[in-house]
């Protein structure tokens, strides 16, 4: 029987394995309902934050962009450079830039092939108008945080204890000592401390104690044995002070390092005094000025690039129209099988036309791209049914700058150099504080205390504690009457000394800050060297681009005359058709090259002001703090009147030396840095071809709509 059972079991197991296969199976559980909603299938998921930030109207309301297949717009926006910069500054909460593609620091010309995405790739590296205020209100390194270290601190605590504790006392001792200790204890402490700029700490505190228990030590009635005084109140007022004499002493150290340089998690000195916080605020202002300057620079560069895009489009249109006219004439001769209408000439004329047509299409796309760059810098919608067209003309006058004056301005007014000088001042202050750490710690301390004790805390009768009372000196007394009697006073005076043997950490700290200072000074020297080289390059660009503008203007005039002459010669059958097409192409290139050089000349003037540190004044931009509340002006006027009515005292013993030379001057003309606009005399008085054209001589901008591309002419005699 067992053998049959074993065989049946083996057969059943084999059938089960064959039916289920080799795949793993989940175990079976009783009372399983199949609801796995509590199971978390993934640790992290792509989720959207729960915010109520509405998208910007200019971004969400952008219309269809203008392209070659969609050149429609409602109106032309005649925009001046001043209006463009004003709009950019009004919308400049975030000081936008073109992500280095515009090469504000001296590149030959901006790239217009890619959109600006610097904010999307590195938003925290883009300055904003909020940055100075953020630095000012930093809870750890801000000015207010540093001043808060000297604020008075009020502390208070109140505790109440209930005692109900059994004691190990036998029957004999229980007649004297209670076998269960019962009592109430109260403790209320209130105090205020104040740190001064010299490192001293002054304190005033009050402590009140309440004690009520069944201890036999308390006063008892000799007849009844009951406790006569069921409770005791004790109060005291303390006046304390602590003054460092060596390490940590003095207004200079405390205003640089702060009074809690060692009170941190790691126990090492952390300098975050008022002066360092002020330096950080000045550094943030220098960064803010540089951000505004870069915004203005990129806006002006975008404006002139849009101007060139229009002029380049006009030149390509002229080349396209002349190529179309030539193709039509050759095609007409080709249809009639006349002289000059050979197949190779007709194909060559056709290629010339489509070449210029592609140039026009590319130039028109560049107009749209340059217009979007300017819109981005102005902080307006990418497309709103209007097409921006510059209304200002670039200057054609020769601008000369005094080299020595420009060099002095570049080395004294550069925001980057001023920021580095603030870093140097910061390192100098830190070094002063670090040297103070080499001194040993010697603090003078003291305390004066008034004491009072009584049965009550306070009552209506003036009944102080009398130690001469033989019966019960505490009965009927109150603590404050005893305190005001002034009989019980205590005082303490002393000194605390601490000095590490070797000063290893302190000497390393001093050496560290010495190296930091040396590094900052070396960086400033190389930055000044780099600024001088960049200024030389900017001056060279101004001179070179003006010369190129002159040369390309003469080339433009010569190319126009060449086309006229070659056209006449071709009509007389004295030159080949290749020469006519080449002359037309040269004229279009000369037209574009002239405006390229003219725009580069105006850009180089802006670049020179950028290097001199006078770009904001050059564009009429001045930086100032916004208005304060009316109460702030009222308080400031009151304090000014108080100082005016007071006597002068020399605060040299409590105030650090001067570390700021005052606000910088933004009056460009008052510094003698104004540029001189001089009209260059013609190099050839006979033809005056070397004199740049005036505004009236420049070709008109495109009309109210983008140029309509002409289709290829029909291949028939109607082409005439």
Pick the closest to residue 87 from 389, 376, 387 (CA basis): 376
Give per-residue pLDDT as tens, 460-480.
888 888 766 666 677 788 889
Q: Is the pLDDT reported for residue 104 higher than 50?
A: no
State the pLDDT at residue 324: 87
Give per-residue pLDDT as tens, 600-612.
999 999 999 999 9
Q: Determine, yes or no, domain membership for 65.
A: no
**CB crowding 250-277: b at 16 or more within 10 Å, else e:** bbbbbbbbbbebeeeeeeebebbbbbbb
State the pLDDT at residue 288: 92
CB within 8 A of 65, min separation 6: which ones?
368, 372, 382, 383
Of the CA atoms within 13 Å of residue 695, those in its CB half-sphere come to 5
Same domain for 223 and 139? no
Q: Determine, yes or no, domain membership for 119.
A: yes
Same domain for 360 and 458? no
Q: Which has the higher per-residue pLDDT, 241 or 23?
A: 241
State the pLDDT at residue 117: 62
Q: What CATH number corresponds to the domain at position 96?
A: 1.20.1600.10
Give per-residue pLDDT as tens, 380-421.
988 888 999 999 999 999 988 999 999 999 999 999 999 999
Same domain for 208 and 344? no
Strand positions, DSSP E, 224-272:
232-244
State the pLDDT at residue 287: 92
Strands 75-79 and 386-390: parallel
Tokens of 143: 């000015």
Same domain for 700 and 563? yes
Q: Is residue 336 a contact partner of residue 401, using CB atoms and an 8 Å limit?
A: no
State the pLDDT at residue 216: 62
State the pLDDT at residue 720: 27
Confidence bin at 665 (pLDDT 50/70/90):
low
Give per-residue pLDDT as tens, 37-72.
666 666 677 777 877 778 877 777 787 888 888 888
Q: Is the pLDDT reported for residue 225 higher than 70?
A: no
164-179 mean pLDDT: 69
Residues 635, 282: Cα–Cα separation, whole Å: 24
**CB crowding 414-436: b at 16 or more within 10 Å, else e:** bbbbbbbbbbbbbbbbbbbbbeb
The total number of residues shown for the chain amounts to 720
Same domain for 428 and 450? no
Confidence bin at 573 (pLDDT 50/70/90):
confident
Same domain for 473 and 328? no
Residues 431, 64: Cα–Cα separation, whole Å: 60
Residues 598, 243: Cα–Cα separation, whole Å: 70
State the pLDDT at residue 27: 72
Pick the closest to residue 407 from 104, 673, 616 (CA basis): 673
State the pLDDT at residue 700: 42
Same domain for 295 and 431? yes
3-state secondary structure of 180: strand
Q: Is the pLDDT reported for residue 566 higher than 50?
A: yes
Q: Which has the higher per-residue pLDDT, 671 or 435?
A: 435
- The mean-pLDDT minimum among 175-184, 418-427, 493-502, 590-599 falls in 175-184
Q: Determine, yes or no, domain membership for 652.
A: no
Give per-residue pLDDT as tens, 637-652.
888 888 778 776 655 5
Same domain for 491 and 520? no
- The mean-pLDDT minimum among 118-132, 201-215, 310-324 falls in 118-132
Domain of residue 490, residue span: 151-195+200-247+441-498
Same domain for 342 and 465? no
Q: Determine, yes or no, domain membership for 408.
A: no
pTM for the full model? 0.77
Q: Which has the higher per-residue pLDDT, 477 or 267?
A: 477
Q: Is the pLDDT reported for residue 696 higher than 50?
A: no
Q: Where does residue 165 rank: exposed (0-12), middle (13-18), buried (19+ CB within 10 A)?
A: exposed
529-550 mean pLDDT: 93
Q: Determine, yes or no, domain membership for 47.
A: no
CB within 8 A of 581, min separation 6: which ones?
323, 326, 348, 349, 352
Q: Determine, yes or no, domain membership for 256.
A: no
**CB crowding 569-604: b at 16 or more within 10 Å, else e:** ebeeeebebeebbebbbbbbbbbbbbbbbbbbbbbb
- The mean-pLDDT minimum among 345-354, 396-405, 663-672 falls in 663-672
Confidence bin at 12 (pLDDT 50/70/90):
low
Q: Residue 138 CA to chain centroid, in angstroms?
A: 13
Q: Residue 88 CA to chain centroid, in angstroms?
A: 18
Q: Is residue 510 a contact partner of residue 438, using CB atoms and an 8 Å limit?
A: yes
Residues 528, 535: Cα–Cα separation, whole Å: 10
State the pLDDT at residue 712: 34
Residues 111, 119: Cα–Cα separation, whole Å: 17
Q: Is the pLDDT reported for residue 272 higher than 80?
A: yes
**Alpha-carbon torsion, ordered 612, 613, 616, 622, to 10 deg:** -140
φ, ψ (nearest 5 deg) of residue 590: -65, -40
Same domain for 539 and 687? yes
Same domain for 357 and 331? yes
Residues 541, 534: Cα–Cα separation, whole Å: 10
State the pLDDT at residue 312: 92
State the pLDDT at residue 263: 54
Pick the closest to residue 476 from 487, 466, 492, 463 (CA basis): 463
Share the mean pLDDT of the chain: 80
Q: Is residue 506 a contact partner of residue 438, using CB atoms and an 8 Å limit?
A: yes
Same domain for 341 and 484? no
574-586 mean pLDDT: 83
Q: Which has the higher per-residue pLDDT, 106 or 27?
A: 27
Cα angle 707, 711, 713 (rounded to 5 degrees) comes to 135
Angle of helix 577-612 relative to helix 403-413, nearest 10 degrees?
Answer: 60
Residues 88, 378: Cα–Cα separation, whole Å: 4
524-534 mean pLDDT: 94
373 φψ region: left (φ > 0), alpha (ψ -120 to 50), beta (else): alpha
3-state secondary structure of 202: strand
3-state secondary structure of 495: strand
State the pLDDT at residue 686: 34
Q: Is the pLDDT reported for residue 92 higher than 50?
A: yes
Structural domain count, the chain = 2
Residues 451, 232: Cα–Cα separation, whole Å: 13
φ, ψ (nearest 5 deg) of residue 92: -95, 50
- The mean-pLDDT minimum among 160-169, 412-421, 588-597, 696-705 falls in 696-705
Q: Is residue 442 a contact partner of residue 497, using CB atoms and an 8 Å limit?
A: yes
Residues 90, 378: Cα–Cα separation, whole Å: 8
Domain end marker among 453, 480, 498: 498
Q: Determine, yes or no, domain membership for 101.
A: yes
Q: Determine, yes or no, domain membership for 512.
A: yes
């Amino acid at each position: 029987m067992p053998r049959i059972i074993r065989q049946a079991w083996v057969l059943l197991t084999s059938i089960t394995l064959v039916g289920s296969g080799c795949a793993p199976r989940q175990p079976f559980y009783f009372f399983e309902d199949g609801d796995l909603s509590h199971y978390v299938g993934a640790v992290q998921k792509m989720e959207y934050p729960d915010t109520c930030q509405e998208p910007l109207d200019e971004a969400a309301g952008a219309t269809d962009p203008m392209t070659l297949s969609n050149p429609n717009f409602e109106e032309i926006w005649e925009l001046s450079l001043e209006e463009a910069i004003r709009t950019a500054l009004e919308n400049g909460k975030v000081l936008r830039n073109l992500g280095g593609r515009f090469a504000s620091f001296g590149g030959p010309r901006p790239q217009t092939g890619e959109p600006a995405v610097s904010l999307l790739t590195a938003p925290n590296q883009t300055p904003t108008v909020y940055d100075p205020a953020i630095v000012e209100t930093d809870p750890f390194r801000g000015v207010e945080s540093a001043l808060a270290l000297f604020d008075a601190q009020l502390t208070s605590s109140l505790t109440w204890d209930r005692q109900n504790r059994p004691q190990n006392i036998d029957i004999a001792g229980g007649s004297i000592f209670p076998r269960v200790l019962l009592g109430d204890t109260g403790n209320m402490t209130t105090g205020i401390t104040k740190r001064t700029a010299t490192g001293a700490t002054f304190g005033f505190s009050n402590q009140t104690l309440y004690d009520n228990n069944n201890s036999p030590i308390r006063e008892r009635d000799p007849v009844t044995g009951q406790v006569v005084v069921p409770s005791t109140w004790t109060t005291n007022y303390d006046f304390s002070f602590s003054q460092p004499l060596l390490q940590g002493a003095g207004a200079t150290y405390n205003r640089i390092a702060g009074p809690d340089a060692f009170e941190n998690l790691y126990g090492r000195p952390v300098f975050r005094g008022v002066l360092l916080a002020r330096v950080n605020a000045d550094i943030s202002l220098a960064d803010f000025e540089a951000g505004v300057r870069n915004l203005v620079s990129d806006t002006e560069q975008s404006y002139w690039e849009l101007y060139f895009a229009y002029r380049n489009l006009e030149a390509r249109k002229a080349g396209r129209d002349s190529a179309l006219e030539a193709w039509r004439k050759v095609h007409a001769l080709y249809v009639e099988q006349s002289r000059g209408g050979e197949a190779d000439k007709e194909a060559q004329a056709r290629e010339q036309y489509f070449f210029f047509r592609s140039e026009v299409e590319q130039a028109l796309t560049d107009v749209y791209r340059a217009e979007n760059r300017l819109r981005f810098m102005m902080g307006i919608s990418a497309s709103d049914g209007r097409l921006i067209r510059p209304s200002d003309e670039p200057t054609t006058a020769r601008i000369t700058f005094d080299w020595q004056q420009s060099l002095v301005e570049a080395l004294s007014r550069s925001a980057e150099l001023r920021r580095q000088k603030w870093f140097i001042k910061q390192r100098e202050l830190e070094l002063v504080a670090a040297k103070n750490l080499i001194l040993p710690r010697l603090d003078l301390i003291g305390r004066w205390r008034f004491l009072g004790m009584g049965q009550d805390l306070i009552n209506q009768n003036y009944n102080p504690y009398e130690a001469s009372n033989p019966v019960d000196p505490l009965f009927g007394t109150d603590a404050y009457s005893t305190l005001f009697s002034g009989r019980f006073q205590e005082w303490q005076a002393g000194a605390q000394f601490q000095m590490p043997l070797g000063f290893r950490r302190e000497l390393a700290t001093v050496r560290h800050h010495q190296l930091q200072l040396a590094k900052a000074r070396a960086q400033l020297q190389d930055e000044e060297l780099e600024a001088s080289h960049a200024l030389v390059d900017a001056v060279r660009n101004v001179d070179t681009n003006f010369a190129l503008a002159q040369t390309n203007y003469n080339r433009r005039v010569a190319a126009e005359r060449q086309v006229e002459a070659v056209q006449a010669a071709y009509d007389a059958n004295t030159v080949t058709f290749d020469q006519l097409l080449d002359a037309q192409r040269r004229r279009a290139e000369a037209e574009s090259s002239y405006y390229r050089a003219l725009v580069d000349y105006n850009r180089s003037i802006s670049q020179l002001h950028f290097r001199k540190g006078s770009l904001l004044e050059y564009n009429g931009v001045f930086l100032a703090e916004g208005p304060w509340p009316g109460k702030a002006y009222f308080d400031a006027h009151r304090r000014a009147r108080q100082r005016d009515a007071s006597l002068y005292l020399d605060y040299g013993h409590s105030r650090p030396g001067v570390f700021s030379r005052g606000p910088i001057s933004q009056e460009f003309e008052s510094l003698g840095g104004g540029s001189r606009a001089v009209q260059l005399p013609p190099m050839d008085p006979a033809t005056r071809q070397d004199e740049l054209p005036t505004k009236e001589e420049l070709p008109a901008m495109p009309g109210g709509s983008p140029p309509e591309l002409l289709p290829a002419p029909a291949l028939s005699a109607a082409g005439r």
